[in-house]
Chains A and B, each alone.
Chain A
């Protein structure tokens, strides 16, 4: 996988705090730049499906400030297809690392939700109260 090159230096949040409805997908890292808000995820297949099942992301997925109403819709995905297309796994030990790209967020926002579907099921990629403030952050640099 190629190294991401950002137009502007930004901020990296590793292993952020959040609440979610499922346990097969983990929000691992958030990269906030002037150009975009990138969310990195890890998905581990389970024994529930014989060959690990499949994953997809709804193009209607959005982020919003927790308790707010303004939605920022998904712009791009990396390593996961937009529905109705699906990525099928081959076994119950397969995994996938993927990223979702949203518009840039204002610096003042402390918490956000990332919602694939409302009200949503345990199979939807819904994440609540993702902490952007009061969490160890690092500035990224370009080399």
Chain B
């Protein structure tokens, strides 16, 4: 059974203390201080002694570290000066894999999540002794993910994660872009969801008396409340997203039910839609000899779905339902009018 990941991180920090050429023979206090600095936690001498014992004797770890104690220097050292658990425990392929994974996590750092998350990643890099700059550079040459821009409201990400995990209701101020109106909301938060590069908080809103979704960019000043948490209904939550592409509903069609949507896709785009469906409900309808196809979706149509259809230009045509076709037509007409050369807002 692999050792607990936190213990492994401690072993690595102890190893780093023992191989630090600028501070030889680290004492118990030195090691505890270094652990506190790196992991932001206090460990007892007893824990460190157990860790050292495990590093020396634990067969499943396989380090068999030659750790000795010097009474003269009042500190620990490796009997073999060249010893380190680093090189013995990870081969090149394992290091490369960890660097890749850590680099992908690094991609999310900073602009997506809160400070705590960034600090945690820094600690992980440090604990794993990954040369970050080198790793970043290597990764950039191999993988280029789509970058997100900063979204306002992400500074509250951490607090919502904690409230979801600790089951704590939250009071916040919400501004609706559509209604141009403010409301004080009390939410029992269940989930943070990303959609189209935006983050949303999902939970039971006391004022609305039902599940609601709030864009993080429209949330101000969250305050944690000391009141009974309303447990989530997993089915209700699952239903909320199962039948949707995107988040933002269309007036009059907010609650569904999911509808059958049929879309004609041109021969130039049909392979793209076959290789990567829009939604898990997508099925292939008809296939025509010239390559164009129809696809069938079972969804509650959203603003995001209309945007997606429009983004394909003339390569996508809504066949049904009629009301959705009319919505797309309405948008196209407005686009035509507003994109005329001398149109004035």
Contacts and interface: CB of A to CB of B under 8 A. Distances in A.
Q: Give the size category of B's interface with A.
A: 20 to 34
B222 interface: yes
A26 B222 CA distance: 18
Contacts of B222: 3
A141 B183 CA distance: 21
Given A4-B221, A40-B221, A97-B175, A15 B183 contact: yes
A50 to B, nearest CB: 14
Contact of B227 (A15, A42, A139, A143): A139
Interface string A1-30: 111100001001011000000000010110
B332 interface: no
B182 A138 contact: no
A129 B166 CA distance: 37
A99 B184 CA distance: 13
B181 interface: yes
B225 A141 contact: yes
Interface in B139-195: 155-156, 159, 162-163, 166, 168-169, 171, 173, 175, 180-186
Contacts of A44: 180-182
A14 B185 CA distance: 7
A138 B159 contact: no
Q: Which of A28, A97, A141, A142 has the most CB of B within 10 A?
A: A28
A142 B224 contact: yes
Contact of A28 (B156, B169, B173): B173
Given A1-B221, A40-B173, A141-B168, A28 B226 contact: no
A128 interface: no
Contacts of A29: 171, 173, 184
B224 A97 contact: no
A29 B168 CA distance: 19
A90 to B, nearest CB: 15
Contacts of A12: 171, 223, 225
Given A1-B221, A14-B186, A140 B173 contact: no
B173 A138 contact: no
Nearest to B220: A97
A31 B224 CA distance: 12
A110 interface: no
Contacts of B181: 26, 42, 44
Contacts of A97: 173, 175, 182, 220-221
A93 interface: yes
A31 B162 CA distance: 21
Contacts of B162: 143
A4 B182 contact: no
Q: Which of B207, B222, B227 has the most CB of A within 10 A?
A: B227
Contacts of A40: 173, 184, 221
A3 B226 contact: no
A89 interface: no
A95 B155 contact: no
Contact of B166 (A1, A9, A140, A143): A143
A29 B207 CA distance: 14
A12 B227 CA distance: 11
Contact of A140 (B156, B184, B225): B225
A3 B225 contact: no
Nearest to A15: B184
Nearest to B179: A44
B278 to A, nearest CB: 32
Interface string A123-143: 000000000000000111111
Nearest to A30: B184
Nearest to A140: B223
25 contacts: A1-B155, A1-B221, A3-B156, A3-B159, A3-B222, A3-B223, A14-B184, A15-B184, A26-B181, A28-B183, A29-B171, A29-B173, A40-B173, A40-B184, A42-B173, A95-B182, A97-B220, A138-B169, A138-B226, A138-B227, A139-B227, A140-B223, A142-B224, A143-B166, A143-B168
Closest 7 CB pairs of A and B: A42-B182, A14-B184, A141-B226, A139-B226, A29-B184, A138-B225, A28-B184
Given A44-B181, A97-B221, 8 more contacts: A3-B159, A4-B221, A12-B225, A42-B182, A93-B180, A97-B182, A138-B226, A140-B225
